[in-house]
Structure 1
């Protein structure tokens, strides 16, 4: 399964984390859960994800180009968005 982070709004989550997979972020999410109280499941709007591949899908989504947009520049919890610019479906 491939799930990417598309949106963040929580202290401890930064621009470099946008577009990473849950697998890549798991240890970091556990750490900020302990440090700041982040709900590791994202409940409460801390982050949003998109599933690009899973066993139920006949095709996987391949993002070929994207940009990361800073929505707010809050000093404690800046908000960043992952904006796909070019993508395709790949048959599995």
Structure 2
């Protein structure tokens, strides 16, 4: 999700509904590009590995790692909004 309205309630809702990442309008261009590239890569790999349990396990871990990264960025956004 890329939004100009970066409040934490919307971010939490978007991530809980399955958004890959939550990026505010003022985010750096590099962050946006990295997030989009990661989402595309994981999406393609998940589609290609539907019947491969080993690959699927690897992708679930990769997705979980990306989710943690998104959560850390979300926490920073919330902190910035609180100050």
TM-score range, shorter chain: under 0.3
